[in-house]
Amino acid sequence: MTSQLIYDGSFEGFLTAVFTIYELKLKDVTVVPAHHVQQGLFTEGSHVITDQKKADRVWKGLRQFEFFRKNVYWSSFSEIAGHEDVMFEAIKYVLHTQNGKDYGHEHVLRVAQVAKMVGREKHRMDAFIRFELTRDGIYFAKVEPDFNVLPLLISHFQERYADQSWIIYDLKRDYGIYYDMIKTVFIHIDFNDVDLAGERFHESEKNYSQLWQGYYDHTKIASRINLKLHTRHVPKRYWKYLNEKKPR
């Protein structure tokens, strides 16, 4: 009978589950985040309590495979069902062979591929996020990324906008990151109390958007527009974040 190790969805929780598998020498086990649990006739589940010390031991055990560690970490934000088992099999193989770059191994390769997919989405968010100034003096941006990349954005935006307070909010996953010019924390906003239609934003935002749209209109050359190439570099699903793409 296959058993499930159910963790809280955090990366530390996943590493704790990996430690538990080794510690208890478990066989025929699958690692599942709590929000993906499905009870079956031939499965039984056990909840893993996240333990930072156990997670650290697994992470330190992989420290000599730095590129592989990064791939594991970035791919963990993919939310792809069953990817925890792929990551575990890759970790088990790397620890056994002491080879973190054997892309002939299907799980090591898959972790690298998923990490690349997540990385692309992260870099697109870096490029396409547009902030709007609220009446409270906080710059606010709303996004709906394909993957759960908000934690990967923190370093870039802290460095780029170090002198501003800002919020980047993931509408799809209903949480955000808030930087107060000192530290960044995770937050939840009750949008029943917040108007995103415009009243919460500073009046200068409308003028700024119009200026940006005007600049975009006057600098593009109609005869040189390559919509296919443009869409490849700026997929249409990101257009709603861009001032130059907003309807007049």
CA distances from 247 to 59, 115, 121, 240 (A): 47, 34, 25, 9
How many structural domains compose the chain?
3
- From the CA atom positions of the chain, what is the Rg in Å? 22
Last residue of a domain, one of 64, 87, 120: 120
Last residue of a domain, one of 91, 120, 149: 120
**Same domain as 218, residue 180:** no
Q: 246 lies in which domain range?
A: 203-248
Show Cβ contacts of residue 148 under 8 Å, excluding neighbours closer than 6 positions.
77, 78, 79, 170, 173
**Same domain as 115, residue 9:** yes
**Same domain as 198, residue 208:** no
Phi, psi (rounded to 5 degrees) for 64:
-80, -10
Phi, psi (rounded to 5 degrees) for 144:
-145, 65
**Same domain as 106, residue 38:** yes
In this prediction, residue 24 carries a pLDDT of 94
Residue 17 has pLDDT above 50, yes or no: yes
In this prediction, residue 235 carries a pLDDT of 56
Q: Nearest to residue 45, comparing CAs of 60, 34, 56, 54?
A: 34
Higher pLDDT, 84 or 226: 84
| % of the chain at pLDDT higher than 90 | 66
**Same domain as 183, residue 80:** no
In this prediction, residue 196 carries a pLDDT of 52
**Same domain as 116, residue 19:** yes
In this prediction, residue 40 carries a pLDDT of 56
- Note the pLDDT tens digit of each residue in 50-65: 999 999 999 999 999 9
- Note the pLDDT tens digit of each residue in 120-177: 999 999 999 989 888 888 999 999 999 999 999 999 999 999 999 999 999 999 999 9
Last residue of a domain, one of 101, 120, 139: 120
**Same domain as 147, residue 73:** no
**Same domain as 25, residue 45:** yes
CA distances from 86 to 16, 118, 173, 243 (A): 16, 15, 23, 39
